[in-house]
Structure 1
Amino acid sequence: MDYIHLREMQFFGYHGVLPEETVLGQRFRASVSLAVDLQQAGKTDNLDNTVSYVGVYDICREVIEGKPFKLIEAVAEAVASRVLSQYEGQVKGCRVEIIKPDPPIPGHYKEVAVEIVRGIFQ
Protein backbone atom coordinates (compact mmCIF):
# COMPACT_ATOMS: atom_id res chain seq x y z
CA MET A 1 0.00 0.00 0.00
CA ASP A 2 1.18 3.52 -0.77
CA TYR A 3 0.35 6.63 1.23
CA ILE A 4 -0.20 10.34 0.81
CA HIS A 5 0.27 12.42 3.98
CA LEU A 6 -0.91 15.95 4.70
CA ARG A 7 0.66 16.85 8.03
CA GLU A 8 -0.05 19.54 10.60
CA MET A 9 -2.54 21.62 8.59
CA GLN A 10 -3.74 24.55 10.72
CA PHE A 11 -7.24 26.00 10.88
CA PHE A 12 -9.43 28.08 13.16
CA GLY A 13 -12.81 26.70 14.21
CA TYR A 14 -15.58 26.82 16.79
CA HIS A 15 -15.80 23.18 17.90
CA GLY A 16 -16.28 22.25 21.52
CA VAL A 17 -18.69 21.57 24.33
CA LEU A 18 -17.91 24.62 26.46
CA PRO A 19 -19.59 27.93 25.56
CA GLU A 20 -16.30 29.83 25.24
CA GLU A 21 -15.13 27.35 22.59
CA THR A 22 -18.16 28.01 20.39
CA VAL A 23 -18.00 31.79 20.85
CA LEU A 24 -14.28 32.56 20.86
CA GLY A 25 -13.13 29.66 18.70
CA GLN A 26 -9.65 28.19 18.72
CA ARG A 27 -6.85 26.76 16.63
CA PHE A 28 -6.97 23.19 15.38
CA ARG A 29 -4.34 21.12 13.62
CA ALA A 30 -5.14 18.21 11.35
CA SER A 31 -3.09 15.45 9.77
CA VAL A 32 -4.55 13.16 7.14
CA SER A 33 -3.02 10.05 5.61
CA LEU A 34 -4.53 8.32 2.60
CA ALA A 35 -3.96 4.72 1.56
CA VAL A 36 -3.80 4.78 -2.24
CA ASP A 37 -2.11 3.01 -5.12
CA LEU A 38 0.46 5.48 -6.42
CA GLN A 39 2.18 3.21 -8.94
CA GLN A 40 0.48 4.70 -12.03
CA ALA A 41 1.12 8.25 -10.81
CA GLY A 42 4.78 7.41 -10.33
CA LYS A 43 5.07 5.86 -13.78
CA THR A 44 3.10 8.47 -15.71
CA ASP A 45 3.86 11.66 -13.73
CA ASN A 46 0.19 12.55 -14.32
CA LEU A 47 -2.02 14.23 -11.70
CA ASP A 48 -5.04 12.29 -12.97
CA ASN A 49 -3.48 9.11 -11.53
CA THR A 50 -3.28 10.35 -7.95
CA VAL A 51 -5.33 12.20 -5.35
CA SER A 52 -5.10 15.99 -5.33
CA TYR A 53 -3.48 17.32 -2.14
CA VAL A 54 -5.34 20.56 -2.76
CA GLY A 55 -8.68 18.75 -2.79
CA VAL A 56 -7.95 16.97 0.49
CA TYR A 57 -6.74 20.21 2.09
CA ASP A 58 -9.92 21.95 0.94
CA ILE A 59 -12.08 19.23 2.52
CA CYS A 60 -10.23 19.64 5.82
CA ARG A 61 -10.57 23.43 5.70
CA GLU A 62 -14.28 23.29 4.87
CA VAL A 63 -15.03 20.85 7.70
CA ILE A 64 -12.85 22.41 10.38
CA GLU A 65 -13.69 26.03 9.55
CA GLY A 66 -17.34 25.18 8.85
CA LYS A 67 -20.30 24.02 10.93
CA PRO A 68 -19.31 23.61 14.58
CA PHE A 69 -19.26 20.18 16.19
CA LYS A 70 -19.22 19.52 19.93
CA LEU A 71 -16.59 16.76 19.65
CA ILE A 72 -13.35 16.61 17.71
CA GLU A 73 -14.28 12.95 17.16
CA ALA A 74 -17.15 14.23 14.99
CA VAL A 75 -14.80 16.59 13.15
CA ALA A 76 -12.46 13.69 12.34
CA GLU A 77 -15.37 11.52 11.22
CA ALA A 78 -16.68 14.26 8.91
CA VAL A 79 -13.25 14.71 7.30
CA ALA A 80 -12.76 10.97 6.75
CA SER A 81 -16.26 10.52 5.40
CA ARG A 82 -15.92 13.35 2.89
CA VAL A 83 -12.47 12.23 1.71
CA LEU A 84 -13.61 8.62 1.21
CA SER A 85 -16.76 9.78 -0.57
CA GLN A 86 -15.08 12.32 -2.86
CA TYR A 87 -12.24 9.97 -3.81
CA GLU A 88 -14.23 6.72 -3.85
CA GLY A 89 -12.33 4.07 -5.77
CA GLN A 90 -8.99 5.87 -5.36
CA VAL A 91 -8.62 6.14 -1.58
CA LYS A 92 -8.73 2.72 0.08
CA GLY A 93 -8.31 4.02 3.62
CA CYS A 94 -8.04 7.26 5.53
CA ARG A 95 -6.39 8.16 8.84
CA VAL A 96 -7.39 11.49 10.37
CA GLU A 97 -5.87 13.12 13.43
CA ILE A 98 -7.48 16.25 14.85
CA ILE A 99 -5.41 18.13 17.42
CA LYS A 100 -6.78 20.70 19.83
CA PRO A 101 -3.63 22.46 21.11
CA ASP A 102 -5.32 24.77 23.61
CA PRO A 103 -8.46 23.18 25.09
CA PRO A 104 -9.90 25.10 28.03
CA ILE A 105 -9.01 22.55 30.70
CA PRO A 106 -6.72 23.14 33.65
CA GLY A 107 -3.39 21.38 33.87
CA HIS A 108 -0.10 20.99 32.06
CA TYR A 109 -0.14 19.11 28.77
CA LYS A 110 0.94 19.67 25.19
CA GLU A 111 -2.41 19.09 23.47
CA VAL A 112 -5.36 16.75 23.15
CA ALA A 113 -6.07 14.80 19.98
CA VAL A 114 -8.17 12.08 18.43
CA GLU A 115 -7.16 9.76 15.63
CA ILE A 116 -9.52 7.63 13.58
CA VAL A 117 -8.91 5.16 10.78
CA ARG A 118 -11.56 4.32 8.21
CA GLY A 119 -11.35 1.87 5.33
CA ILE A 120 -8.34 -0.33 4.61
CA PHE A 121 -5.22 1.13 6.17
CA GLN A 122 -2.28 -1.19 6.80
Structure 2
Amino acid sequence: MDSLDEIVLTGLTVFGRHGVYAKEREEGQEFTVDLRLSLSLEQAAATDDVGDTVHYGELAEKVAAVVSGEPVNLIETLAERIAEVALADARVQNVSVTVHKPHAPIAVRFADVSVTVRRSRAFEALEDITV
Protein backbone atom coordinates (compact mmCIF):
# COMPACT_ATOMS: atom_id res chain seq x y z
CA MET A 1 0.00 0.00 0.00
CA ASP A 2 1.84 3.08 -1.26
CA SER A 3 -0.55 5.80 -0.16
CA LEU A 4 -3.81 6.14 1.69
CA ASP A 5 -7.08 7.43 0.31
CA GLU A 6 -9.90 9.06 2.26
CA ILE A 7 -13.55 8.67 3.05
CA VAL A 8 -15.01 11.84 4.56
CA LEU A 9 -18.36 12.10 6.32
CA THR A 10 -19.32 15.58 7.50
CA GLY A 11 -22.26 17.12 9.26
CA LEU A 12 -23.71 14.00 10.88
CA THR A 13 -26.11 15.58 13.36
CA VAL A 14 -27.49 13.52 16.23
CA PHE A 15 -29.34 14.33 19.46
CA GLY A 16 -27.44 13.37 22.61
CA ARG A 17 -27.32 14.06 26.33
CA HIS A 18 -23.63 14.78 26.88
CA GLY A 19 -22.24 17.45 29.16
CA VAL A 20 -20.94 18.27 32.59
CA TYR A 21 -24.13 19.97 33.79
CA ALA A 22 -27.32 18.18 34.85
CA LYS A 23 -29.41 20.43 32.58
CA GLU A 24 -27.42 19.23 29.54
CA ARG A 25 -28.10 15.62 30.49
CA GLU A 26 -31.80 16.27 31.12
CA GLU A 27 -32.62 18.41 28.08
CA GLY A 28 -30.03 17.12 25.65
CA GLN A 29 -28.95 18.86 22.45
CA GLU A 30 -27.74 18.22 18.93
CA PHE A 31 -24.11 17.31 18.28
CA THR A 32 -22.52 17.34 14.85
CA VAL A 33 -19.75 14.92 13.89
CA ASP A 34 -17.22 15.07 11.06
CA LEU A 35 -15.11 12.01 10.23
CA ARG A 36 -12.10 11.61 7.97
CA LEU A 37 -10.94 8.02 7.44
CA SER A 38 -7.59 7.16 5.84
CA LEU A 39 -7.43 3.79 4.13
CA SER A 40 -6.65 2.20 0.81
CA LEU A 41 -9.58 2.29 -1.59
CA GLU A 42 -7.68 0.52 -4.35
CA GLN A 43 -9.41 -2.85 -3.86
CA ALA A 44 -12.87 -1.28 -3.72
CA ALA A 45 -12.18 0.69 -6.90
CA ALA A 46 -10.98 -2.45 -8.67
CA THR A 47 -13.89 -4.68 -7.64
CA ASP A 48 -16.64 -2.04 -7.50
CA ASP A 49 -17.90 -3.93 -4.44
CA VAL A 50 -19.11 -2.16 -1.30
CA GLY A 51 -17.77 -5.11 0.71
CA ASP A 52 -14.26 -3.95 -0.13
CA THR A 53 -14.64 -0.54 1.48
CA VAL A 54 -16.02 1.06 4.61
CA HIS A 55 -19.77 1.33 4.12
CA TYR A 56 -20.28 4.94 5.13
CA GLY A 57 -24.01 4.45 5.69
CA GLU A 58 -23.34 1.72 8.24
CA LEU A 59 -20.56 3.79 9.80
CA ALA A 60 -22.95 6.74 10.14
CA GLU A 61 -25.44 4.53 11.97
CA LYS A 62 -22.76 3.26 14.37
CA VAL A 63 -21.55 6.76 15.10
CA ALA A 64 -25.13 7.97 15.62
CA ALA A 65 -25.63 5.16 18.13
CA VAL A 66 -22.60 6.37 20.10
CA VAL A 67 -23.79 9.99 20.11
CA SER A 68 -27.36 9.10 21.08
CA GLY A 69 -26.19 6.47 23.56
CA GLU A 70 -24.57 6.57 26.98
CA PRO A 71 -23.94 10.16 28.09
CA VAL A 72 -20.41 11.36 28.85
CA ASN A 73 -19.23 14.56 30.47
CA LEU A 74 -16.79 15.69 27.78
CA ILE A 75 -16.98 15.87 24.01
CA GLU A 76 -13.34 14.76 24.14
CA THR A 77 -14.56 11.41 25.48
CA LEU A 78 -17.32 11.27 22.87
CA ALA A 79 -14.80 11.90 20.08
CA GLU A 80 -12.54 9.15 21.42
CA ARG A 81 -15.43 6.64 21.44
CA ILE A 82 -16.31 7.55 17.86
CA ALA A 83 -12.67 7.10 16.80
CA GLU A 84 -12.71 3.62 18.34
CA VAL A 85 -15.78 2.75 16.25
CA ALA A 86 -14.04 3.85 13.06
CA LEU A 87 -10.83 1.99 13.89
CA ALA A 88 -12.79 -1.20 14.59
CA ASP A 89 -12.66 -1.72 10.82
CA ALA A 90 -9.16 -3.09 10.20
CA ARG A 91 -8.94 -1.32 6.84
CA VAL A 92 -9.00 2.10 8.51
CA GLN A 93 -5.43 3.21 9.24
CA ASN A 94 -6.12 6.71 10.57
CA VAL A 95 -9.18 8.62 11.65
CA SER A 96 -9.87 12.23 12.46
CA VAL A 97 -13.06 12.91 14.44
CA THR A 98 -14.45 16.36 15.13
CA VAL A 99 -17.39 16.70 17.51
CA HIS A 100 -19.21 20.03 17.37
CA LYS A 101 -21.32 21.26 20.28
CA PRO A 102 -22.94 24.43 18.90
CA HIS A 103 -25.37 24.77 21.81
CA ALA A 104 -22.83 24.42 24.62
CA PRO A 105 -23.68 26.34 27.79
CA ILE A 106 -21.26 29.22 27.24
CA ALA A 107 -22.21 32.60 28.73
CA VAL A 108 -20.99 34.66 25.77
CA ARG A 109 -22.15 34.58 22.15
CA PHE A 110 -20.34 32.02 19.99
CA ALA A 111 -20.94 30.11 16.77
CA ASP A 112 -19.57 26.68 17.65
CA VAL A 113 -17.24 24.79 19.91
CA SER A 114 -15.58 21.60 18.75
CA VAL A 115 -12.96 19.05 19.65
CA THR A 116 -10.90 17.07 17.16
CA VAL A 117 -9.06 13.84 17.93
CA ARG A 118 -6.76 12.05 15.52
CA ARG A 119 -6.05 8.38 16.03
CA SER A 120 -3.91 5.95 14.09
CA ARG A 121 -3.78 2.20 13.87
CA ALA A 122 0.04 2.45 13.78
CA PHE A 123 -0.05 4.36 17.07
CA GLU A 124 -2.31 1.72 18.61
CA ALA A 125 0.19 -0.98 17.62
CA LEU A 126 2.99 0.94 19.34
CA GLU A 127 0.94 1.16 22.54
CA ASP A 128 0.66 -2.62 22.62
CA ILE A 129 4.45 -3.05 22.68
CA THR A 130 5.77 -3.53 26.20
CA VAL A 131 9.38 -3.07 27.19
Give the structure-1-normalised TM-score. 0.93
| Map of 2:118 onto structure 1 | 117
Q: CA deviation at 1:114?
A: 0.2
Which of 29, 44, 53 is the equivalent residue of 1:50?
Answer: 53
- The aligned runs of 1:12-91 (5 Å cut-off) are 12-85=15-88, 87-88=89-90, 90-91=91-92
Q: CA RMSD in A?
A: 1.3
Distance 1:105 1:19 in 2: 15
SS of structure 2 residue aligned to 1:91? coil
Give distance in 2, aligned partners of 1:118 and 1:8: 20
Structure 1 residue ranges, 4+ long, deviating more than 3 angstroms after superposition? none
CA distance in 2: counterparts of 1:69 and 1:8, whole angstroms = 21
One-letter amino acid of the counterpart of residue 24, structure 1: E
Among the aligned pairs, what percent are the same residue? 34
Matches of 2:50 and 2:100, distance apart in 1: 30
Say which one has the larger Rg. 2
Aligned to 2:94: 93
1:37-60 per-residue CA deviation (whole Å, 9 max, x = no partner) reads 001111221111111102210121
Distance 1:56 1:97 in 2: 15
TM (norm. structure 2) is 0.87
What's the CA shift string for 1:52-102, capped at 9, x where partnerless? 1022101211110000000000000001112212x02x1001110000011
Structure-1 separation of matches of 2:69 and 2:27 = 14
The structure where strand makes up a greater share of residues is 1
8 Å Cα contact 2:94/2:121 also seen in 1:
yes
Check whether the contact 1:35–1:120 (CA below 8 A) recurs between aligned residues: no
SS at match of 1:97: strand
Contact 1:76–1:98 (CA<8 Å) still a contact in 2?
A: yes
